[in-house]
Structures are given as C-alpha cells and as structure tokens.
Chains A and B, each alone.
Chain A
Amino acid sequence: GAVVSQHPSWVICKSGTSVKIECRSLDFQATTMFWYRQFPKQSLMLMATSNEGSKATYEQGVEKDKFLINHASLTLSTLTVTSAHPEDSSFYICSASRGDNEKLFFGSGTQLSVL
C-alpha cells in the first residue's frame, strides 16, 4: 500500500524557536503533498498545498512566512514553524497524493507543544 511517514511524532519547544516537520512518501512518488492542522475534537484544516519543485499554495489566513513549506523532491516535503508561539501548539498532519488525483494517504501526525 501507500505509506506516508511523518516525523517527529511529537515535539516540545520553547517559544521563539523554529520546528521542522518532515513528511515522506515511502513507496510512491508524491506529486502533491498537503499540510493540515487539527485542533482537539475538530476536523482537519488545510493549511497549504505543495507541489514538487514549486512554491506552496497557502489557504486563506495561513501565514506563509510563519509556516514555511519545502517540497524539494517527489518523496519529501517539510513544514517549518518559524518563531513558534504557544498558539501554534496543535496537531499537524501531512498527506500525499500519488498523482492519480484521487486517493490521499496521511502521515501519522505531529503533536507540537510550544511552551
């Protein structure tokens, strides 16, 4: 099957520091990757769409300078939360599409806690 690996699974950091989250497609090439944010007991909120080799497309209200996305290869996308603050604490999830424009496979998520 299609496996998406996300690391780290959880991270605790001090306010003002930056945190990088990696998302890898292990057994397929992901032409498109998506980053979501999920608050407790809520649905997934799409933050941005990234295509390999091009700039990410951010959803309305998502600060592109705060949430840096890099999709340098067909198997790796990274999300960097810059100058993190307590309000950035959340569950971040990535997903990847194989390019058939249909099925999406999700990573295991990263719980970010900013102190």
Chain B
Amino acid sequence: GENVEQHPSTLSVQEGDSAVIKCTYSDSASNYFPWYKQELGKGPQLIIDIRSNVGEKKDQRIAVTLNKTAKHFSLHITETQPEDSAVYFCAAKDFGNEKLTFGTGTRLTIIP
C-alpha cells in the first residue's frame, strides 16, 4: 500500500518569510496529491491539490510542486502571516482508489 512521509514535523517561520513542507510517497500509481490545513479543534481544510500530469500549481501565496520521478511533492507558502499557523497534512492517492493516505503532519508556527 501507499506510504507517505512528511517533513519537518514542526516548523517555525518569521512572519513574512516563506515556509516549505516536503512529502514523499511510495506508490508510483498515486496521481492525486492534496494538501490540508487543520486548525486546533477543527477538521482539515483542503487548501490546494495537484494531479500527476502537472508539475506545479499556484494559488495566491500557496504553491505545490510535484516531482513524479523522485516521488516527492512540496507545499510552499510565501509571505507567511500569523493566520497560517496550523497543522498541515499532505496526502496521496491513486485516482482509482477511494482512500487517501495522509502524511504525519507538520505543525507550522508563524512568529510575529
């Protein structure tokens, strides 16, 4: 089955700087890679996703890059703000599979 590793587990960034979170996956059949943001006591919120036929996707301050050959994908947050502080999860799945496999999460703290 799929295995997703996520690094780092914690990340502190000065407000205004960029944050990068990296994930690797094991199943070459995986072709859908979403990122979720989870605030304390709430459910995960989809913030961006990417399919395997695309190498990069951007939405305002958030971008995701995918390297299929190396089987890794990354989340980039630029111009970080205090409200970006949360736990971020990457995930992966095969289009024909219903289940998402989640990474272990990254606790991002933005220092004012």
Q: What residues of chain A have their CB less than 8 Å away from a CB belonging to chain B?
A: 4, 6, 32, 34, 41-44, 46, 49, 91, 93, 95, 97, 101-109, 111
> Roughly how many angstroms separate A97 CA and B55 CA in the complex, as a whole number?
24
Indicate whether A109 sits within 8 Å of B102 (C-beta atoms), given known contacts A101-B95, A102-B95.
Answer: no
Chain A residues lying within 8 Å of B46, measured Cβ to Cβ, are 103-106
The CB with the most chain A CB atoms within 10 A, among B43, B49, B89, is that of B43
What is the CB-to-nearest-CB distance from B14 to chain A, in angstroms, rounded to a whole number?
24
Q: Of A4, A44, A102, A107, which is within 8 A of B32 by CB?
A: A102
The interface bits of chain B over 77-93 (1 if a CB of A lies within 8 angstroms of the residue's CB, else 0) are: 00000000000010000
> Roughly how many angstroms separate A103 CA and B47 CA in the complex, as a whole number?
11
> Roughly how many angstroms separate A109 CA and B87 CA in the complex, as a whole number?
15
Chain B residues lying within 8 Å of A44, measured Cβ to Cβ, are 44, 89, 102
**Tally of chain B residues near chain A (CB < 8 A):** 21
Q: Closest residue to A100 on the B side, CB-wise?
A: B95
> Roughly how many angstroms separate A32 CA and B102 CA in the complex, as a whole number?
18
Q: Closest residue to A9 on the B side, CB-wise?
A: B41
Indicate whether A93 sits within 8 Å of B105 (C-beta atoms), given known contacts A46-B99, A106-B36.
Answer: no
The interface bits of chain B over 91-112 (1 if a CB of A lies within 8 angstroms of the residue's CB, else 0) are: 0000110111011110100000
Inter-chain contact B43/A109, CB cutoff 8 Å: yes
Inter-chain contact B34/A107, CB cutoff 8 Å: no
B42 at the interface (CB under 8 A from A): yes
Indicate whether A109 sits within 8 Å of B41 (C-beta atoms), given known contacts A43-B105, A103-B46, A103-B49.
Answer: yes
> Roughly how many angstroms separate A9 CA and B1 CA in the complex, as a whole number?
32
Chain B residues lying within 8 Å of A108, measured Cβ to Cβ, are 42-43
